[in-house]
Chain A
Amino acid sequence: MNGVRILVIATFFVFVLMTPVVVASGNDSYYIFDNELQVNEGITIETSIHIEVVEVKRIPLERAKFRITSYQRPERMITVFKEDGPQANRYETYSGASIYLDVIGVYSDSVQFRVSGPSNWRVTDYYDVDPEEGGGEVDEAVTVPKLKITRTLDISSVQQGQTAKVTFKIKNDGNGTASEIELDEPTIKGAYREGCPTTLDDIAAGATERVSYDLKIVDVEPGTYELNPTLLNYKSESGTSYSSESSSNVLVIVAEEVLAPELEIKLTIESDDDVIICGERFSVTVRIDNTGNATTGRITVKSHLPDDVRVAGGEIDPVYESIKPGDYEEYEVTMIAYEPGKHVIKMDVLWADEEASASAEFWAERSGFDKYYIYILAAIPIVLILLWLIKRRREYSF
C-alpha cells in the first residue's frame, strides 16, 4: 500500500510541475520579453536560453536574425520577419517547452521584439556579444542552405494579350544562409516576362522570400503549355554551390476574345412532313439569333422565294435596328405555293459587312380538290345555265 501512495503522490507532483509549461505553451499573450535590443546584444531566459540579435535588415523586408542557444540544443539561427506573427517562429527547448519570437519593429541597428512563453519564465540576464566570438562560433559550425522554391500562377488560363502573375516562394529550409542566388526562369515562346529577377538577395536559414513577375502573353498560339521548372543556383556561406528547382506548371492560353456580333438565321416551315397543299396558306417562322458577343448594328433580312411562292401575310424582309448578344428576333410570314413540286425558300440576314443565310425546303402538292378542278370547271357553265333557266322560268311563272 505504501508503494501505491508513493506512486500517486509522485504522479501528482509531476502533474503540478508540468502544468505551467503546458499553460505557457498555449498562452501566447504572456511576454517573457518585450523590448528593443541592439545588434550583438542578447538576453538569457531562465538562465539557460540565450537569444542574441545577429543582424537586422529593413530592405526588402524588415527582418531580424537571432541566434538561439539552449541546454542540450544546437545553436540555431532564426530570421524573423516583421508581422510574421509569433506562431511562425517557434523554438522548442530540451524540456519540451516552447518560446515564440515576434518582431515588432526593425531599426537601423536594433530590433524591437517579443518573446512569449511560459508565464513563470523570466529574463534572467542581459549581455553583449563579442562579434568576433559570435562569428567565430558560426564559422566554425557546419551550415548548409537548402532552398525550396514553389512557383504559383494567379490564373491557370489566360487569354492572348493578357498577363499572368507568377509568384515564387523561396524558403531556406537549411541552417545556413543562401547567397549568390541565381534564378533561371524558363519562358514560353511569344510570352514576355516583366520584372522577373535573375538574382536574389541572400536568404538566411529558415527565411522565406517571395518574388513575383508578370508573364505577358503576347504572341502565343492558343493551347495548353507546360511551364518548365524554375532553376535556383545558390551558394552556401562556405561557397559551396547548390541548386534546386520548382515543379512545372500548366498554363492554358486561349484565343483573344474579339467582340463581334454573329448572327444565325433559321427557317421553320409549319407543315406536316414538309408537304404543302397548293393554294393553301402555310406559316414560315424566321428566327435570327445573335450568337456573338457584341450588339449588332442595323440588320436587314432579304428573302429569295421561288417564282410560284407568294407572301400572303406578314413582312418577309423586315429591318431591325439591333440585336443584343444572346438575344433573338423572330417573325412569322404566311405564304402560298401555287405549283406542285419541290420548293426552296432562301433567306439572307445582312449586318455590317457580314451575311448569313438559311434555306428551307418543302414539297407542294395539289389538293384533292384540284383533281376535280376540271369537272368543277365543266360543271360551272351547266350550273349557270340551270340558274339561268330557273331564273327565266321564274320570270314566266305566275
Chain B
Amino acid sequence: MLNILILGLGQCGNRVLDAVNHEAFGSGGTFAKYYSRQKFPASVKTIAINTAINDLKGLTDTRAKDRFHVPHLHGVGANRALGKKVFDDNKEQIMSEIDKRGSFELIFIITSAAGGSGSSFAPLLVKELKKAYNAQIICIAVLPFREEGSIFLQNTAFCIRELVAESPNGILLVDNQYLKKYAGDIKSAYDKINISVARRVLFLIEALNSEMLMVTDLGDLKTVMNGGIGIGTMGYYEAGKDGTIKSAILGSFKPSGLLFPANVYNEGARAMLIIKGDKKYLDLDLITKTVEELSTDVGQVFKGVLIKKGRPKVLSLFTLNSVPELENLYAAAADAIRFEMDKREQSKKQLDDAFAHIDELEPIY
C-alpha cells in the first residue's frame, strides 16, 4: 500500500485539503465525520499548515491533530518575504510534524500560488522534503482570480518560478480564473474548484494504489510528470447514459474538464489516463485504440483501467510542452509590477514635492 502525504498550505491549500478529507468520507455528507471513517484508497496522511489560525479553525473535515499552526500573528498578509522568514524560523517544527506521520512514497503539496503563507512556504518545503524523503513530490498550485489584485499576481509569478526552480516531480496547475466560468458566484466557484481538485486527487491515489486491469503506477506518474516543462494539469470526465468509453476518454481532454486552460492536443507532452467503471462499459480494444490515437497528438499516454461499479469515469493527467496561459499571467504580473512601481514612484515624487514646500522652513510657535 502506498504511503501518501497530502499537505495543504495556506488558506487555499487548507480548504482544498479539507475538501479531500470531506470527499474521503464518501457520500455521507456534512455529518459523515460523526459516524463514519475516512475511506482513503491508500495510506494517506494529511496536514493542514497555516500561519493564520482562523483559517485552520474554519476547516470542518480535517482532524484537529492534522492542523498545524505556524505561530505568526494571524498570517503573513500575502507577504512572501515575511512568509519565507516565518518558514525558516519554524522549519524544524514543521518538518518534525511531518516526520511524525512516518515515511512516504508520494507527497502532494496543495497551495495557492498567490497567497502569503502557502506561496512562500511551498518552494521552501519542496526543498526540505526532497532532502528528508525519497518520495515523489507533486505540487498542486492554484492560480488566483486575475482581478484579485497585483500583489497576488506578483506572488503567483514568483511562487511558480521558485517552485520550478526547486524541481519537484511535477506541478499541476489549477486556475481559479479559468474555472470561475463554470460556477456562479465566487463562493460556489471556490467550493466547486476545491471539490474538483479533491476528487481528482483521490481518483489518482485510488488508481495508483489499486489492482488494475491495465496498470499505471507511481513510476508511470513520475514519467508523465517528467515530460515537457514539468508543469501540467488534470482533466476529468464522467460518461453519460448513452456515452461510450471513447467519448469519456476524449471528454477528459476537453477544456471543460481541465483544471487549467490548455490545448492538450497541441501543448501536451505526456499524459496518463485512468479509466474507472463497470466492466461492461470498458471495451479494452476500444480503449487501446483510442489511446493510440491520442498518442499521436499528445505523445506518450499511459493508461490504467480500474474495474469498479458505475458508469465510466476518466481522469487525465498531462504535462505540457508550453503553457501560453502562464505566459499571459506572467505578462500581466509584470505589467502589474511595473504599474505598481510607477505608481509608487509617482506617489513618492508627489510626496517629496509636497514635502518640498516646507524645505528650509522651521515651525514658528
Contacts and interface: CB of A to CB of B under 8 A. Distances in A.
Contacts of B65: 395
A393 B56 CA distance: 15
A372 interface: no
A392 B34 CA distance: 6
A395 to B, nearest CB: 5
B59 A398 contact: yes
Q: Secondary structure of the A side of the interface?
A: helix
Specify which of B34, B57, B61 lies most central, judged by the most chain A CB atoms within 10 Å of its CB.
Answer: B34
A392 B33 contact: yes
A396 interface: yes
B67 A398 contact: yes
Contacts of A397: 64
Contacts of B161: none
A389 interface: yes
A392 to B, nearest CB: 5
Contacts of A394: 64
A259 to B, nearest CB: 81
B61 A398 contact: no
Contact of A398 (B33, B34, B35, B56): B56
Interface in B50-69: 56-57, 59-65, 67
Contacts of A388: 34-35
Interface string A356-398: 0000000000000000000000000000000011001111111
A156 B122 CA distance: 124
B67 A389 contact: no
Specify which of A395, A397, A398 lies most central, judged by the most chain B CB atoms within 10 Å of its CB.
Answer: A398
Nearest to A394: B64
Contacts of B56: 398
A396 B57 contact: no
A398 B67 CA distance: 8
Contact of B57 (A389, A395, A398): A398
Interface string B230-272: 0000000000000000000000000000000000000000000
A393 B34 contact: yes
A388 B35 CA distance: 8
A389 B34 contact: yes
Contacts of B62: 396
Interface string A3-25: 00000000000000000000000
Interface in A328-370: none
Nearest to B56: A398
Nearest to A385: B35
Nearest to A393: B34
Contacts of B57: 398
Contacts of A396: 33, 60-64
Specify which of A389, A392, A393, A394 lies most central, judged by the most chain B CB atoms within 10 Å of its CB.
Answer: A392
Nearest to B69: A398
Contacts of A393: 34
Nearest to A391: B34
B179 to A, nearest CB: 28
Nearest to B67: A398
A285 B93 CA distance: 70
A388 B36 CA distance: 11
Nearest to A389: B34
Nearest to B36: A392
A337 B56 CA distance: 58
A393 B61 CA distance: 10
B10 to A, nearest CB: 16
A273 B35 CA distance: 51
Nearest to A392: B34
A396 B38 CA distance: 13
A392 B56 CA distance: 17
Specify which of A389, A394, A395 lies most central, judged by the most chain B CB atoms within 10 Å of its CB.
Answer: A395
Interface in B14-38: 33-35
Nearest to B65: A395
Nearest to A397: B64
A74 B240 CA distance: 170
Contacts of B33: 392, 396
A285 B105 CA distance: 74
A130 B62 CA distance: 157
Contacts of B64: 394-398
A115 B294 CA distance: 175
Contacts of A389: 34
A43 to B, nearest CB: 142
A393 B60 CA distance: 10
B40 to A, nearest CB: 16
B1 to A, nearest CB: 23
A388 B33 CA distance: 11
A252 to B, nearest CB: 94
A397 B62 CA distance: 9
Contacts of B35: 388, 392
A173 B148 CA distance: 159
Interface in A166-220: none
A274 to B, nearest CB: 51
B60 to A, nearest CB: 7
Interface in A78-102: none
Nearest to B48: A398
A112 B60 CA distance: 142
Nearest to B59: A398
A388 B31 CA distance: 13
Specify which of B33, B56, B67 lies most central, judged by the most chain A CB atoms within 10 Å of its CB.
Answer: B33
A57 to B, nearest CB: 129
Interface in A120-166: none
A65 B63 CA distance: 138
B37 to A, nearest CB: 10
A193 B251 CA distance: 140
B258 to A, nearest CB: 33
B87 to A, nearest CB: 21
B4 to A, nearest CB: 21
23 contacts: A388-B34, A388-B35, A389-B34, A392-B33, A392-B34, A392-B35, A393-B34, A394-B64, A395-B63, A395-B64, A395-B65, A396-B33, A396-B60, A396-B61, A396-B62, A396-B63, A396-B64, A397-B64, A398-B56, A398-B57, A398-B59, A398-B64, A398-B67
Given A388-B34, A396-B61, 19 more contacts: A388-B35, A389-B34, A392-B34, A392-B35, A393-B34, A394-B64, A395-B63, A395-B64, A395-B65, A396-B33, A396-B60, A396-B63, A396-B64, A397-B64, A398-B56, A398-B57, A398-B59, A398-B64, A398-B67
Q: Which 8 pairs between the two chains have the least Cβ-Cβ distance?
A: A398-B64, A392-B34, A398-B67, A389-B34, A398-B57, A395-B63, A398-B56, A397-B64
